[in-house]
Structure 1
Amino acid sequence: MSGGRRGILTGGTWCADYNRTVSHWPGEDGLAELFEEERHGGGSGCNLALDIKHLDPAIPVETIGLVGDDDDGRYLRATAAAAGIDTSQMMVTAAAATQFCDAYVSLSSHRRTHIFHAGSGALLTPDHFDFSSTRMRYLHLGLPGVHRILDAPWHDEANGWVVVLKKARAAGLETNLELASVDRALMARLVAPCLPHLDFLIVNDLEIGAIAGVETIVRDAPDQAACMRAARAVLERGALKLVAVHCPAFAIAVTRWGEGVVLPSVAIPKQEIKGANGAGDAFAAGMLYGIHEGWSVGQSLRLAHATAAASLRSISTTGAVLPWRDCLALADKWDSRDY
């Protein structure tokens, strides 16, 4: 391991997800039927931390976040502790309620719609991030666009995300950034100054297109060649070692050393799918775990697909992720999509 470092530190969004299954997503003034409702942890800091622990309970995981002094905050801290995540830097504030998200999954399309309240997330600042004592190897940070102070300029830097990434690298961590489904222009503006301070970027087809300024959707479907162009363009704009791009049909990964891998996704049976909420986080967890363990890009991409496929079996973000060998076994059982 790099300098004796081992493990993953997640930082940023911890929110209470109120996951709801509905018959379909209605338009304004429309009506849909609610079938299922569950509370789970959500957000990039929560999801990847829990997914990594599901993949391999032995790997050290720490987190940095800010929750409210309320029932949702206590629930998130208890969820993290029960999973074996170090919560010593999961701070509590009385100034705001815990960030929460109403996460709707449509039974007709399996697509997700999120409506969130920033709450404590709006108060998170670069000063909450202390990397002086951690021995983790990687920082997984998110989510630009949903944290008011981190999204804004901080002293002489373009935004607080840059400050956190620079602090992490100075402390010896390698960095990855998780994105949210925010406006394309806002995403591009927030992420651009972060690129020189990232080692990895694991995003979806829409996100890579927004960052690169490339149209990755052609005839209403993700275009593999366009995704590859966008990934390579972003790779050249920063200090990145690897850019990975995923969508429902395929994923690609490109490296600074010229490697390019394309892999179709897992052909999970339709009857197994409960919802796509958290599938992107699961993909990132599989990819980052493989990289952490020294696997090849192709092997890491295969586990990323397998982890995402396993996660689709639950309406929650992390509830269906299994140990990594079991995720791969499911992927082998279902085989790959024809693409």
Structure 2
Amino acid sequence: MKHEKQGITVAGSLIADTFYKIDTYPEAGMLTKARDPVSYVGGTGNLIQDLAKMDPELPIRVSALVGADENGDMLCERLSQYPAVDVSGVVREGISAQTLVMNAQDTKQRTFFFVPASSDLYEEKYIDWEKADARIFHLEYLLLMAKVDEEDPEYGTHGARILHDARERGMETSIDIVSEQSDRAQRIVRCALKYTDYCTINEVEAEAVTGISLVKDGEIDSETAKQALEKLKELGVSKWAVIHSPKQNFGLDCESGEVVEVASLSLPEGYIKGTNGAGDAYCSGILYGGYQGYHLEKAMRLAAASAACSLSEMNGTDGMRPEKEIWELEEKYGKS
């Protein structure tokens, strides 16, 4: 099938992740030293880099608001290293969103401090629709961006308005959200689902959005997972609804009614070096599969193997590989 539009637009919260080493996490009122800061591209940047590594020729357009500061420089420069990534749709003003990550050397525990800044200010007025024109428009992360999550008198939320307007321009739409157990999930995300083609969320997020409890004895119950998928379709998802978890993944083709179950890869002991970014890697596989016209099962297998690639390195995107190598990993560790 030939498509006039090409590429994927990734829109939303582009964040600078800065890691510090600290000797120990201090008690309230006490001091500790933060050393050796190292900055990475985070937020939507994880998904952008995953897609760029998966297919270096895939046109990727970025829509975001980042600061006119050093972090903004870093974010734009790092993403511009990928030839097919277009950052001309990134607006520069104010202060960049940043996550400060404190790595305690004694306990090996990490503590996160999120500075929303530009992430909370991003809204449709910062989207240049001509530059954002693509086959798929992916908006992330709902529940993290204050302006996007604001109420809208016509569409329910501003994020829903953005997705509606992307569809009006002939694009398929996709969403990802942050894990949050609150009534906000149903109120905000359900508005967006009315204008969503691809919905890729984990089991915690699925419970929050649908109100259906999925986990039984520490694992996803397949029957309730199917109920949750049907609920996502009922709420408006029109093409694929996918729920992923560390062990098992469930998907619904909302057009054919087919339900797909795909196991996560069986990885050897010592393989997993970090879990940061695995959800973004999974989402990149679903998006890429949708873009390429893959069957839902193939897209979910690619997504599971992409997540496994991410798990092989501490940083969220260092482990990602070209599609051919992702399939080789799936053949090696996939469950028959």
CA RMSD of aligned residues (A): 3.1
Question: Which residue number in structure 2 is paired with residue 185 of structure 1?
Answer: 183
Kindly provide the CA deviation profile for residues 287-330 of structure 1, in whole angstroms up to 9, marking residues without a partner as x: 11112111111111111001000001122221110001111212
Question: Which residue number in structure 2 is paired with residue 81 of structure 1?
Answer: 80
Map 1:253-332 to 2 at 5 A: 253-256=251-254, 257-332=256-331
Kindly provide the CA deviation profile for residues 3-29 of structure 1, in whole angstroms up to 9, marking residues without a partner as x: 411210000010011246999999999
Instruction: Please state whether the residue corresponding to 2:155 is helix, strand or coil.
Output: coil
Instruction: Please state whether the residue corresponding to 2:151 is helix, strand or coil.
Output: coil
In 2, Cα distance between the equivalents of 1:319 and 1:113? 21
AA at the equivalent of 2:150: A
Instruction: Please state whether the residue corresponding to 1:319 is helix, strand or coil.
Output: coil
In 2, Cα distance between the equivalents of 1:286 and 1:215? 26
Number of positions where the alignment pairs a residue of Structure 1 with one of Structure 2: 334
For the Cα contact (< 8 Å) 2:241–2:251, is it kept in 1? yes
For the Cα contact (< 8 Å) 1:7–1:136, is it kept in 2? yes
For the Cα contact (< 8 Å) 1:2–1:137, is it kept in 2? no
Distance 1:264 1:239, change over 3 A: closer
- Deviation of 1:334 after TM superposition, in Å, equals 2.4
Give the TM-score of the pair, scaled to structure 1: 0.89
Map 1:211-250 to 2 at 5 A: 211-250=209-248
Question: Which residue number in structure 2 is paired with residue 251 of structure 1?
Answer: 249
Question: Which residue number in structure 1 is paired with residue 135 of structure 2?
Answer: 137
AA at the equivalent of 2:195: H
Instruction: Please state whether the residue corresponding to 2:118 is helix, strand or coil.
Output: helix
For the Cα contact (< 8 Å) 2:160–2:194, is it kept in 1? no
Instruction: Please state whether the residue corresponding to 2:163 is helix, strand or coil.
Output: helix
In 2, Cα distance between the equivalents of 1:118 and 1:54? 27
In 2, Cα distance between the equivalents of 1:16 and 1:50? 14
| Bigger Cα displacement from structure 2, 10-19 vs 215-224 | 215-224
Question: Which residue number in structure 1 is paired with residue 92 of structure 2?
Answer: 92
In 1, Cα distance between the equivalents of 2:264 and 2:227? 20
AA at the equivalent of 2:173: T
- Deviation of 1:184 after TM superposition, in Å, equals 2.9
Distance 1:292 1:178, change over 3 A: same
In 1, Cα distance between the equivalents of 2:158 and 2:45? 20
In 1, Cα distance between the equivalents of 2:160 and 2:242? 21
In 1, Cα distance between the equivalents of 2:274 and 2:22? 11
- Deviation of 1:114 after TM superposition, in Å, equals 4.2
Instruction: Please state whether the residue corresponding to 2:241 is helix, strand or coil.
Output: strand
- Deviation of 1:222 after TM superposition, in Å, equals 2.6
Question: Which residue number in structure 1 is paired with residue 203 of structure 2?
Answer: 205
Kindly provide the CA deviation profile for residues 223-243 of structure 1, in whole angstroms up to 9, marking residues without a partner as x: 232222111111122142110
Residue 11 in structure 1 maps to residue 11 in structure 2? yes
In 2, Cα distance between the equivalents of 1:162 and 1:328? 35
**Runs of at least 5 residues in structure 1 that lack an aligned partner in the other structure:** none
In 2, Cα distance between the equivalents of 1:147 and 1:192? 16
In 1, Cα distance between the equivalents of 2:117 and 2:226? 37
- Deviation of 1:336 after TM superposition, in Å, equals 2.8
Instruction: Please state whether the residue corresponding to 1:17 is helix, strand or coil.
Output: strand
- Deviation of 1:112 after TM superposition, in Å, equals 7.5
| Bigger Cα displacement from structure 2, 112-121 vs 182-191 | 112-121
Give the TM-score of the pair, scaled to structure 2: 0.90
Distance 1:105 1:319, change over 3 A: farther
For the Cα contact (< 8 Å) 2:199–2:237, is it kept in 1? no
- Deviation of 1:110 after TM superposition, in Å, equals 10
For the Cα contact (< 8 Å) 2:22–2:104, is it kept in 1? yes
- Deviation of 1:111 after TM superposition, in Å, equals 9.5
For the Cα contact (< 8 Å) 1:201–1:240, is it kept in 2? no
Distance 1:234 1:200, change over 3 A: same
For the Cα contact (< 8 Å) 2:240–2:296, is it kept in 1? no
For the Cα contact (< 8 Å) 2:10–2:138, is it kept in 1? yes
| Bigger Cα displacement from structure 2, 14-23 vs 58-67 | 14-23
Question: Which residue number in structure 1 is paired with residue 192 of structure 2?
Answer: 194
In 1, Cα distance between the equivalents of 2:5 and 2:199? 20
